[in-house]
A and B are shown apart, each in its own frame.
Chain A
Amino acid sequence: MNNLPFGKTWRLIPHDPRFSKPLRIMKISTCLLFAFVTGVQANGIAQKVTLKMKNARIEEALNAISKQSNLQLFYGENIDSKARINVNLKDASVADALNAVLKSNNIEYKIIANTISVNGKTEGSRSSNIVQQGVSGTVKDKDGNALAGATVTVKGTAITTQTDESGHFKINANSNATLTIRFIGYAVREVAVSDRNNLNIVLTSDENKLEEVVISTGFQNLNPKLFTGAAVSLKGKDVIQEGTTDVSRALEGRVAGVSVQNVSGTFGAAPKMRIRGATSITGENKPLWVIDGVILEDVVNISNEQLSSGDASTLIGSSVAGLNMDDIEDINILKDASATAQYGARAMNGVVVVRTKRGRVGKLQVNYTGNFSVNLKPNYSNYNIMNSVDQMSVYAELERKGWFNYSPTSRAENGGVYTKLASLIDYDESLGDYGVKNTDEAKGAFLKRYALANTNWFDLLFKNSLQQEHSVSFNGGSEQSQLYFSTSYLKDNGWAMGNNVERFTSNLNANFKLSDKLSLNFITTGAIRNQQAPGTLGRVSNPVEGRYSRDFDINPFSYAINSSRTLTAYNEDGSLEYFRRNYAPFNIINELRNNTMDLNMLDLKFQGGLTYKILDGLSFSSLGAMRYVKTGQEHKIRENSNMAMAYRAGTSFDPLGVDSEVRKNNRFLYRDPENTAAEPETVLPYGGFYNTTDDFLKSYTFRNSLEYNKNFNEVHDLNLFVAQEIRSANRQNKSNIGYGYQFDKGGVPFVDPKAIEQAVANNLPYYSMGPTYDRQTYFLFRGAYAYDGRYAINGTFRYDGSNRMGSSATARWLPTWNISGAWNIDREKFYDNSSVKEVMNRFTIRGTYGLTASIGSATNSSLVVKSSSSLRPFPTEQENVINIINLANNDLTWEKQYEANLGFDFGFLKDKLNLTVDLYDRKGFDLIYNARTPAIGGEYKKNFNYADMRSKGLEITLGANIKPSTDFSWNSNLNFAFNKNEVTKLEGTPIIFELVGTDGGPLQGHPYRGLYSIPFGGLNPKTGVPMFHNGSGETVTYIDPQGDDISFLKYEGPTDPTFMGGFSNTFNYKGFSLFALFTFAKGNKVRLNPVFNSSYSDLDATPLEFRNRWVVPGDELDTNIPAIPDRGTFNGLNGEFPYNSYNYSDQRIAKGDLLKLKTIRLTYNISNKLMEKIKLRNASLSLVANNFWLIYADKKLNGQDPEFFGTGGVALPVSRMYTLSLKVGF
């Protein structure tokens, strides 16, 4: 291979008189360059330059030349920005113009491959050294991409060359010479030749230098000069956390003001993400995700509360779960009203703009990434659960207190060891003996086995599983067409039993340039997911008793922390051991095998765009996208699962035989209302259930835009942008309960008509289907103007229309607007000359004021009526009735917010230190609240735009880039934010139950989700039952959870942290790189798990606090842990719920503060020498630990992560994970 494309011209010594003038002026001693200049001039006949500038900086002049000549501009290194020049040229050649600009400043330039490459000052003219030998080499970036056009100079001489398209160069240098390599956006590097004749040089990018930073708003890629908002741009490669599969999780701790709380770690479940806190009281508060310019619609809308519920729908809640992290080019997080202005009435919660990778001009590059992760099993030391001996002593107390009397216990609905004992004490006729003799010795021996069992449920239900992810991408193209293609495969074998996932993604991004004016872009992405989770039913809230409940919960994690360690999974002979749940035999391992949820998802997106340059500076763009998502959940409840057995327990279809006591009490049996005397019957005599839920999304986006971008007289930058878009999204949800599916009999359903009868009688249809339609359109105008790089002003106006609130011509439309400006003080003359500049080289002030909005949760701008069955007891009396769900509200409007933002950007010590400070004040108004009304219109709790909210915040980002030597560098980023929000207006008050739960509730004068507690009033000295202070100043045992006197509740704090941030450090030493990310949060309160009950069963695992429980009168002086009530006390509670109130009292609160070492990564980049040998472009190996160490959390949490408190359903905590990551490029 010929590595020396310039070889031929090398020997051309330019003594041609035509070149004498430039030679003289430019004081350049190599001839090579002039050959290129000639070439340019020969090609570019039309490239005439007109320049008229006074006291301009060199960069400005160069920029002007670059623009007029259509030549790109590269700075080899910083040029003296203090120098000022005066030029006055008309229709001059490019070379003349360049000479005029650069000559007086002794600056070199070259023109190569349509690029003006400008180097710094020469140290004066020198004669060429005698050529001793030819040294060749390659210049690449850190990722192994060849750098074309890099300048290689022999230090101390004027011998210079440039690299070719594949990064190769050849230069004449002494064997003891030092080469200086320069390339725009990269740190200058000096390399000693040291007798080598082939050098592999890697340049590290220096982002603080002149690399062109582009702010992507999703609509436009803006020149930062014209951008005046608060936004943060992250490179995809910096965000990647190997092993983490959801990009939204990877943003934790990265950006000031962006909070990410992993309320569930299960694949596909979205984290709770907020940009600058919440803006709505009843809405979703989720930021808007925009991928490649198209709004990413959620398949299902998951509310704040649902996020922590663990319902199966949360698994499809994260719409970015189908995005391969390796495909991400960059992420822009738009925070303030100016940044998000182009999203107008969807922008209130901030916008996350993701751009995926595009094809590049150049040789084909192939990249492979392989991640191999191990999730570590949880450990009892992190959880607050009694061991089996302590637990058995609690049971012994329960027994003494009359809870395990054999006759009722043997027929208990749920039961463990004592229930088993009670049922074995009966005479077993088949054995001709007692299962366990009714003697103290026999019973003691029976219980001893369980007391010593100390079952480790984490061991049984979790494994150190392997997750592997492979991703390969191809990237390359010509001037006319560029292609990026990637595909990836993810397989997670499942950390918790019953969980696993498999994901395939593919992404094709193609650019075609049909002519100088017309270019096209096509993106096709697809993702397929197959996931298995434990079978789960939706969580239901029970305000009557003040608790949430979920039937048949078999989440391995919540099972492990809620199940007694006296239970054993296996009999002594190794077979599965069953205890009782819902009157049916239950073993968690059997259940996880036989009660499963299969989830599959297909997500396809087709996108096409065209850009047409109408005139110079004026271009028209059009974009169309279509996305199609189909998800299905199949809940398979096999015949031998506990859930199926519970439906026939006690009847003649129960393998354990008819039991009239069980039959009477089994709530899953059906009682015929027409026949009051009949025994309850099963609706599921054979088979199990095959329940399906399908969600479907079809969305279209079509957008046209016109952009005018022009620079006038070098000092005026103008950008005008007009756009119009229509968007539609149709969603459909359907579900079906498949009764009597016989999994082990060839899949034939056996449907008992009583099943349908029962469903009808309960007004709970066995199937459902509901579509929703989302239509949106808008018109947008944006204008930006910058003067001399010093002042910029920006204004946006957008007019939105949406159907979401229902058909009403008035509620439908909303104008939003915004105005912002920036002042680059460091560009001012007075600043330029001041000594401050030496220390603080960059100083910008930004300001924004504007209106943003979002559509609230209310849809009743017109009447909402729905049909249902009447609620009458006898099927013969039923008829269809249409009920008014919501009255029409002609005043309904969007939720809105005025936001003011003041930002400061500083650069210190030549940008070695960067500081960004943003202050904001947001006034939310017209927020939807479900307020109580006089009800005279017919709706008591009505959604209307009543509430106001105010939030204020401060965001600080401090970056340091320290590089004491070429081998060592240290990057550090500290970001943190304060956010305080307060509901300033709210009509009506919620009931107690709505305020004391884990999610908290809104109250005027407090945060939008404040956590409140029932004030604990000590333990009853006679019984040890908890007491509380009520609103009338009395100490009582009963607080009605539905009461609406909330004046006595204690305000604990917000449920969202008020202070949070991240601290990351990267150390590079030669090929090694060490990265560590700490995250922290403070200021919120967490409700501890509700573990106290007025009665316990022998299944319950009690926390360690129970050791200090009230036992005898007098204990109330030392402990606040209530007693286990005896039967007499329990009956005296009269169906009141003091223990539930205790769960929601101020005793059961912990601080949510946390400090975490979230990620630690060690990377080794394989040396260039080795790579050359193995023919690789780059290769690296990383070892990553995610969720490595919870350094600080409230002791009351006993090591549990405060972010994760909603156990149950499909929710699992985020586990500690170790990943080995291999990246190879060739």
Chain B
Amino acid sequence: MKKYLFIIVLGATLSSCNKFLEQEPDARTKIDSPVKIKELVASAYPKSTYIAFAESMSDNAGDKGVSSRSEQNSFPWEFKDQVKSLYDMPARYWQECYKAIAAANQGLESIAELGNDPTLNASKGEALVARAYNHFMLVNFFARPYDESSSSTDPGIPYVEKPEVTALGKYSRGTVAAVYDNIERDLLAGIPLIDNSTYKSPAYHFTKNAAYAFATRFYLFKKDYANVVKYANLVASTGTIATSLRNWNGKYKDLAYYDLQAIYTKSTESANLLLCEANSIWGRSFAGYNYGLNSALLAEIFSAANNPVKIQLTYRSKIFGGTETVFNIPKFSENFIKETISANFGEPYNVIPLLTMEEVLFNRAEANANLGNNQAVIDDLNAFLSKRITGYNESNPNHKLTLAKVTSFYPNLSIKDALVESILNFKRQEYIFEGMRWFDIIRLKRTVNHRSVKGDINLTIGPEDNRRVLQLPTEVIASGLDKNPR
């Protein structure tokens, strides 16, 4: 009898053991409620920025002839591969984008676990669009730009749709076309689900407007101009674009250095459609980088003579720093997160405007130029100039851009090309120090020339140059994915 009792007791303990061991080892949370899913998806944005390498690779960066070098700045300018993964380096950006994707994927998985409850639609929409955005950024840096003729064979980047649950996941690059298809699928599935009212701090989330803005960028890269206009107009439908642009010739004009720096990336600035805080030293460093806005480029980009409207835009008056070694516009204030409350070191964060109202305007204008809607282009650019010309007067014909001015400024180009060039000209000024120029260079197959003052570096990076595509991080190559050709 005793023996049986013992066996029963033993059996009972065995089965209860699993229950006993169910206890989580610490106070970690479980993603099991709509609120938690929402908070998880809030981390589906990259906590790193591409600006440093994108800006340095572009034609916005020239040699200032200073002796000190910083890898974040000099390697991309010289089109050398960066193997480290420190602040502002491509590998770090890769890691952070995939980290954001993991949060989106986990959010989507948890939503599925909760039975795709319709109350979770807003989070699902945000997760899908964020996932699309992160992959889109990665594919444009680490693979060749979209081209209908070659993208179906160009290697892409792994499109991750499931949370990784093994020690080391198995991934393949797929093709650029496949990545684009996935992005489009996620984007289109996500947009209708987004609900602005669920966000506490909407500027840091994919609102409807931000998602539309991303769609205009996506379709512009895909050269699907009708869709660019369609989504741009959806943005417009929630408030005209023109009234939401940064007020450079108004409020911005009179701001002191730090005040301008503070407002530029503030969520209350209506032009900021999507902001994200990124672990970066860009804000504190870019002015002093050797490869950046030097005097020659300052003249090239900002002189009155060098744009179709032939008037110097307000930006020029907000370029601080008396010498070329430190020319800068205060766009990024640093939020220094200290290690401990009294420490004097910690992690620097910059808020990065990922999508802005200006881009929607530029994207729509470029699409319209390609579609032949020339007047729409001129109208958009005039709306833009109304906020960029100091002392702007609507009735002053000098302040107005016309098709004639465009064609006379670009006499050798077709009207369409002249319009596109005009757009790029203004866009380059608008996004100086923000890295956006690089996207236009790869998208429109522009050649970049980097020449050092001493003459020892003389790079001509044409549209087919392999170095335009960033090399995959070393660990990725080591895991067996094909490296980009060099």
Question: Hey, which chain A residues are within 8 Å of B14, CB to CB?
Answer: 779
Contact A881 B345 (CB under 8 A): no
- B166 in contact with A870 (CB, 8 Å): no
Q: Is A611 an interface residue (CB 8 A)?
A: no
Q: Is B227's CB within 8 Å of the partner chain A?
A: no
A932/B277 contact (C-beta < 8 A), A777-B21, A804-B25, A872-B204 known? no
Contact check, A887 vs B42: say whether CB atoms are below 8 A apart: no
- Establish whether residues A936 and B26, one from each chain, have CB atoms under 8 Å apart when the complex forms: no
Q: Which residue of B lies closest to A770 (CB)?
A: B27
Given the known A-B contacts A726-B17, A803-B24, A889-B165, are A937 and B341 also in contact in the complex, defined by CB atoms under 8 Å?
Answer: no
- The yes or no answer to A890 lying at the interface (CB within 8 A) is yes
Question: Is A538 in contact with B340, judged by CB distance below 8 angstroms?
Answer: yes
A724 at interface, CB cutoff 8 A: yes
Q: Known contacts A807-B24, A865-B40; is A934 also within 8 Å of B204 by CB?
A: no
**A668 close to B342 (CB less than 8 A):** yes
- Name the distance in Å between A934's Cβ and chain B's nearest Cβ: 4
The DSSP consensus for interface residues of chain A is loop
In-complex Cβ contact of A762 among B6, B95, B99, B341 (8 A): B341
CA of A552 to CA of B21, assembled, Å: 43
Question: What 1/0 mask marks residues of chain A from 756 to 774 whose CB sits below 8 Å from any chain B CB?
Answer: 0011001110000011111
Q: A870-B204, A872-B277, A938-B98 are in contact. Are A540 and B340 (CB under 8 A)?
A: yes
- B251 close to A (CB within 8 Å): no
- Contact of B85 with A946 in the complex, beta carbons under 8 Å: no
Q: Are B24 and A806 in contact (CB under 8 A)?
A: yes
A883 at interface, CB cutoff 8 A:
yes
B18 touching A809, Cβ below 8 Å: yes
Smallest CB-CB separation from B257: which chain A residue? A676
Chain B CB within 10 Å, residue with most, of A728, A863, A890: A863
Residue B200 at the chain A interface, CB threshold 8 Å: yes
B42 lies within 8 A of A882 (CB)? yes
Q: With A882-B40, A935-B475 known to touch, is A874 a contact of B266 (CB < 8 Å)?
A: yes
Cβ of B243 < 8 Å from any Cβ of A?
no
Q: A881-B39, A934-B473 are in contact. Are A889 and B167 (CB under 8 A)?
A: yes
Chain B: CB-nearest residue to A769: B27
Q: Does B158 contact A (CB under 8 A)?
A: yes
Cβ of A673 within 8 Å of any chain B Cβ, yes or no, is yes
Interface string of B247-284 (1 = CB under 8 A from A): 00000000000110010001100000000010000000
Are B13 and A933 closer than 8 Å at their CB atoms?
no
Cα A862 to Cα B42 in complex, Å, equals: 21
Bound CA–CA A545/B339 (angstroms): 14
| B100-108, B146-154, B181-189 - the one binding chain A | B100-108
Cβ B335 vs Cβ A936 within 8 A: no
Within 8 Å CB of A614, what residues of B? 2
State A988–B106 Cα separation when bound (angstroms): 27
A1042 is an interface residue with CB less than 8 A from chain B = yes
On whether A938 and B103 interact (CB within 8 A), knowing A667-B342, A873-B333, the answer reads yes
Which residue in chain A gives the minimum CB-CB distance to B336?
A762
B86 CB contacts on chain A under 8 angstroms: 1042
In Å, the complex CA distance between A880 and B200 comes to: 10
**In the complex, what residue of chain B is closest to A944 when comparing beta carbons?**
B167
Q: Could you tell me if B18 and A775 are in contact, using CB atoms closer than 8 angstroms? A: no
Q: How far is the CA of A805 from the CA of B26 in the complex (A)?
A: 10
Tell me the smallest distance from the CB of B112 to a CB of chain A, in Å. 15
- Chain B residues within an 8 Å CB radius of A812: 18, 21
Residues B160 and A863 in contact, CB atoms below 8 Å apart = no
A1105 interface contact, C-beta 8 A: no
Complex formed: what's the CA distance from A807 to B23 in Å?
A: 7
Give the number of chain B interface residues (Cβ < 8 Å).
Answer: 77
| B476 and A936 contacting across the interface, CB-CB below 8 Å | yes
A940 within 8 A of B: yes
**A945 contacts which chain B residues (CB < 8 A)?**
167
Q: Is the CB of A1044 within 8 A of B84?
A: yes
Residues of A with C-beta under 8 A to B166:
889-891
Closest beta carbon of chain B to A992's beta carbon, Å: 11
Q: Say yes or no for B402: interface residue by CB 8 A criterion.
A: no
Shortest Cβ distance from residue A828 to the other chain B in the assembled complex, whole angstroms: 41
Within 8 A of B (CB), among A737-794: 737, 758-759, 762-764, 770-775, 777, 779
Q: Which of B40, B167, B262, B333 contacts A891 (CB 8 A)?
A: B167
Whether the pair B165, A888 counts as a contact (CB closer than 8 A) is: yes
Contact A883-B43, Cβ < 8 Å, known A540-B343, A890-B165: yes
Q: Are B103 and A946 in contact (CB under 8 A)?
A: no
A938 to B106, CA, bound (A): 11
Residue A839 CB within 8 A of the other chain:
no
A724–B24 alpha-carbon span in the complex (Å): 22
Binary flags per residue of B11-40, CB closer than 8 Å to A gives 1, else 0: 001100110111111111101000010011
Q: Is the CB of A940 within 8 A of B95?
A: yes
The interface centre, meaning the residue of B14, B258, B342 with most chain A CB atoms within 10 A of its CB, is: B342
Any chain A CB within 8 A of the CB of B338?
Answer: yes
B414 lies within 8 A of chain A by Cβ: no
B403 at the A interface (CB under 8 A): no
Query: Quick check: is B117 within 8 A (CB to CB) of the other chain?
Result: no
Query: With a CB–CB cut-off of 8 A, which chain B residues contact A801?
Result: 17-18, 21
Q: Is the CB of B21 within 8 A of A865?
A: no
CB distance from B87 to the nearest CB of A (A): 10
- A225 CB to closest chain B CB (Å) equals 29
Does A773 contact B42, Cβ atoms closer than 8 Å?
no
Which residue of A758, A863, A1044 is within 8 Å of B163 (Cβ)?
Answer: A863
Q: In the complex, what residues of B have CB within 8 A of residue A867's CB?
A: 29, 39
Interface residues of A in 290-343 (CB under 8 A from B): none
Question: B68: CB under 8 A from chain A?
Answer: yes
Inter-chain contact A803/B25, CB cutoff 8 Å:
yes
Q: Is the CB of B200 within 8 A of A942?
A: no
Residues of chain A within 8 A (CB-CB) of B204 are 870, 872, 877, 879
Docked complex Cα distance between A802 and B28 (Å): 17
Asked whether B349 is an interface residue with its Cβ less than 8 Å from the other chain, the reply is yes
Taking a contact as CB atoms closer than 8 A, the residue among A770, A777, A879, A988 that contacts B475 in the complex is A988
Contact yes or no, A884 B103, CB < 8 A: yes
What residues of A have a CB within 8 angstroms of the CB of B476 in the complex?
934-936
Question: Is B168 engaged at the interface, CB distance under 8 Å to the other chain?
Answer: yes
CA distance in complex: A874, B13 (Å): 54
Give, as a whole number of angstroms, the nearest-CB distance from A948 to chain B: 15
Answer yes or no: B203 CB below 8 A from chain A CBs.
yes
- The B140-162 residues at the A interface (CB cut-off 8 A) are 158, 160
Find A805's partner among B25, B36, B165, B258 (CB 8 Å cutoff). Answer: B25
CB-based contact A773/B25 at 8 Å: yes
> In the complex, are the beta carbons of A888 and B475 less than 8 A apart?
no
Nearest first, the 7 A-B pairs at minimum CB distance are A938-B102, A937-B164, A873-B335, A944-B167, A934-B476, A935-B95, A882-B39
Given contacts A770-B27, A892-B167, 14 further A-B contacts (CB under 8 A): A540-B340, A542-B339, A667-B342, A762-B341, A774-B25, A777-B20, A871-B335, A873-B277, A882-B42, A884-B102, A934-B479, A935-B475, A938-B100, A938-B105
Using a CB–CB distance below 8 Å, which chain A residues touch chain B? 537-538, 540, 542, 544-545, 549, 551-552, 614, 667-668, 673, 676-677, 706, 724, 726, 728, 737, 758-759, 762-764, 770-775, 777, 779, 801-807, 809, 812, 859, 862-867, 870-874, 876-885, 887-892, 932-940, 942, 944-946, 988, 1042-1044, 1134
Q: List 9 A-B contacts (CB under 8 A).
A: A728-B20, A871-B337, A881-B43, A933-B479, A934-B479, A935-B99, A936-B160, A938-B101, A940-B99
